[in-house]
C-alpha cells in the first residue's frame, strides 16, 4: 500500500503530499561513493579482527594493566557483540547513509571525475580535526553537566580495563555527541574528495578500536614520542577518569594540562 501511494505521488497522480513529493524529486547522488566508503570501513574492521586474533592467540603481547584477564575466554562472543551494537555501527552506518544520500556533505565529496587520489595531508587534517572536536565534547561530558554524563558517557566508563571490542560499547547519546557531531563538523571544515573521506573513515574506525585494546601495539613507543594516542594512554582515562580526554592525539591534553603517561599510572605494567 505504501509503495503504491508513493508511486501515485511520484507520477503526479496525487500532488497534495508535499513531503513525499520532495523525496521523489530530490536530486540523489550516486550511492557508489557511499557503498565504497562503507565497504572500506568493513574491510578495515575485518583486517583489524585478523590482527587482534593474532595478538590474542599467537603472540606474546604485553597487557597494559596489571589486572589479570583472559581475552581468549570470550573472544568470539565479544567479537559478535562488537559488530552488533546498535549504538555503534548501526548509528554510524545510518549517519553515513543520510549525510551522503541527502547531500549534506560539501560538493567536493561527490566527485568521481578524477582517478583515485588520496592526499595524506587531507586524511591527517580530518583525523586531527575530529579528534579536537571529540576531545572538547569528551571534556564537556565529564565536566559540564553530571546528569548528561550519567546517561551519555558513564555507560562506557564501566570498563576500567577495556578491551578492543569495548570501543563502541556505550550509549546512543554518547555516540551522537562524541562521534557523529564531530564527524559532521569535520566534514564541513575539511573539504576533501571521496577517496580521502573513505581513507579517513577506515583510519578513524580502526584507530578508535586499537586504543581500547587490552594489549600494547608494536608502534606504541613511537606514537607516544610524537603525541599520537596509544592504548596505554586511553587506558589511563578509563582507569583514572580525569586524564587523557583525547583519543587519536594527546596534543590537546598536553595543552590543557590533562595528560598523564601510562608509565606513571598506578596498576599499569611498566614495560608498555
Write down the pLDDT at residue 22: 59
d(CA 28, CA 257): 46
Closest CA to 230 of 208, 199, 252: 208
Q: What pLDDT shows up at residue 116? A: 83
**pLDDT tens digits, one per residue of 99-124:** 999 999 999 999 876 678 899 999 99
- For all residues of the chain together, what is the average pLDDT? 91
| CA distance readout (Å), 122 to 82, 108, 224, 226 | 29, 13, 22, 19
In b/e form, how buried is each residue of 121-142, taking b as 16+ CB within 10 angstroms? Answer: ebbebbbebbbbbbbebbbbbb
Question: What's residue 111's pLDDT?
Answer: 81
pTM for this structure? 0.89
Query: What number of CA atoms fall less than 13 Å from residue 194's CA on the CB side?
Result: 23
- For residue range 192-249, what is the model confidence (pLDDT) as tens digits? 999 999 999 999 999 999 999 999 999 999 999 999 999 999 999 999 999 999 999 9
Contacts of 19 (CB under 8 A, 6+ apart): none
d(CA 58, CA 27): 51
Categorize the per-residue pLDDT at 24 as very low, low, confident or very high, splitting at 50, 70 and 90: confident
Q: Which of 27-36, 164-173, 243-252 has the lowest mean pLDDT?
A: 27-36
* Spatial contact of 248 and 229, defined as CB atoms under 8 Å apart: yes
d(CA 130, CA 190): 10
The pLDDT, as a whole number, for residue 128 is 98
Amino acid at each position: 500500500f505504501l509503495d503504491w501511494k508513493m508511486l501515485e505521488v511520484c507520477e503526479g497522480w496525487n500532488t497534495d503530499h508535499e513531503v513525499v513529493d520532495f523525496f521523489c524529486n530530490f536530486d540523489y547522488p550516486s550511492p557508489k561513493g557511499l557503498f565504497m566508503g562503507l565497504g572500506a570501513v568493513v574491510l578495515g574492521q575485518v583486517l583489524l579482527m585478523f590482527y587482534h586474533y593474532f595478538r590474542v592467540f599467537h603472540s606474546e603481547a604485553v597487557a597494559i594493566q596489571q589486572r589479570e584477564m583472559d581475552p581468549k575466554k570470550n573472544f568470539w562472543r565479544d567479537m559478535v557483540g562488537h559488530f552488533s551494537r546498535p549504538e555503534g555501527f548501526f548509528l554510524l552506518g545510518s549517519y553515513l547513509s543520510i549525510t551522503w544520500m541527502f547531500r549534506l556533505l560539501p560538493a567536493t565529496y561527490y566527485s568521481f571525475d578524477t582517478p583515485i587520489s588520496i592526499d595524506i595531508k587531507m586524511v591527517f587534517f580530518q583525523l586531527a580535526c575530529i579528534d579536537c572536536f571529540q576531545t572538547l565534547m569528551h571534556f564537556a561530558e565529564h565536566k559540564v553537566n553530571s546528569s548528561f554524563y550519567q546517561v551519555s558517557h558513564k555507560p562506557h566508563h564501566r570498563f576500567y580495563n577495556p578491551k578492543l571490542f569495548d570501543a563502541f560499547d556505550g550509549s546512543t547519546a554518547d555516540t551522537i555527541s562524541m562521534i557523529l557531531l564531530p564527524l559532521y563538523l569535520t566534514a564541513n571544515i575539511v573539504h576533501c574528495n571521496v577517496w580521502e573521506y573513505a581513507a579517513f573513515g577506515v583510519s578513524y574506525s580502526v584507530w578508535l578500536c586499537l586504543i581500547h585494546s587490552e594489549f600494547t601495539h608494536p608502534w606504541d613507543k613511537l606514537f607516544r614520542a610524537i603525541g599520537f594516542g596509544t592504548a596505554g594512554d586511553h587506558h589511563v582515562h578509563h582507569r583514572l577518569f580525569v586524564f587523557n580526554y583525547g583519543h587519536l592525539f594527546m596534543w590537546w591534553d598536553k595543552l590543557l594540562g590533562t595528560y598523564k603517561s601510562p608509565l606513571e599510572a598506578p596498576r599499569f605494567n611498566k614495560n608498555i
